[in-house]
């Protein structure tokens, strides 16, 4: 049974935090689906992930290609897990269900702590998912390092 990890971004950009989480996920042998709501925003994120440190190659692709099933990390706006992912990373306020959390190893919900709409959306997701019985953790980087602040 999986859990939802909420990541409240206040110090680092989304691409940096996502890269760190993707590296850890791939090290665990997990395939990952990065789910967003805005295709143009995901394409910009895709480009940022390709421009990572030279010593750290992050294999990934955008959904809709011929080799979606082969991608260890697949970025897209759909809810279909085309690459056999066991981890979903939701960005841009993308929807995640309690049923998904139970069926996956992990769900990560990343949100911008400087965006009031993103904060409000994350609060709604927390209440909805924990209210449906999903296990969840809230992580903040407010102190400059990631700390678990709450668990349900």
State the pLDDT at residue 113: 94
Share of the chain above pLDDT 90, in %: 88
State the pLDDT at residue 82: 87
Model-level pTM? 0.94
In 3D space, the residue among 113, 98, 114, 96 whose CA is nearest the CA of residue 33 turns out to be 96
Q: 3-151 belongs to which CATH class?
A: alpha beta
Q: What is the pLDDT of residues 49-107, one digit of tens each?
A: 998 777 778 999 999 988 999 999 999 999 988 899 999 999 999 999 999 999 999 99
State the pLDDT at residue 57: 86
Structure tokens at 89: 């990373």
Which ranges of the chain would DSSP assign to H, the alpha helix?
14-27, 39-50, 98-103, 116-131
Pairing between β-strand 136-140 and β-strand 87-90 as defined by DSSP bridges: unpaired
Share of the chain above pLDDT 70, in %: 99
State the pLDDT at residue 53: 78
Higher per-residue confidence, 13 vs 52: 13
Cα(86)–Cα(118) distance, rounded to whole angstroms? 25
Average pLDDT of span 9-14: 95
State the pLDDT at residue 111: 98
């Amino acid at each position: 049974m999986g859990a939802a990890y909420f990541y409240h971004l206040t110090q680092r950009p989304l691409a940096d935090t996502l890269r760190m989480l993707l590296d850890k996920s791939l090290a665990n042998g997990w395939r990952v689906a990065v789910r967003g709501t805005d295709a143009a925003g995901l394409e910009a994120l895709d480009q940022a992930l390709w421009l990572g440190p030279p010593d750290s190659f992050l294999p990934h692709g955008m959904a809709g290609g011929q080799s979606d099933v082969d991608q260890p990390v697949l970025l897209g706006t759909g809810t279909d897990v085309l690459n056999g992912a066991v981890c979903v990373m939701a960005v841009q306020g993308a929807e995640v269900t309690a049923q998904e959390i139970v069926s996956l190893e992990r769900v990560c919900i990343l949100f911008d702590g400087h965006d009031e709409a993103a904060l409000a959306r994350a609060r709604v997701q927390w209440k909805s998912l924990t209210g449906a019985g999903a296990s969840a953790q809230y992580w903040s980087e407010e102190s400059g390092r990631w700390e678990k602040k709450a668990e349900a």
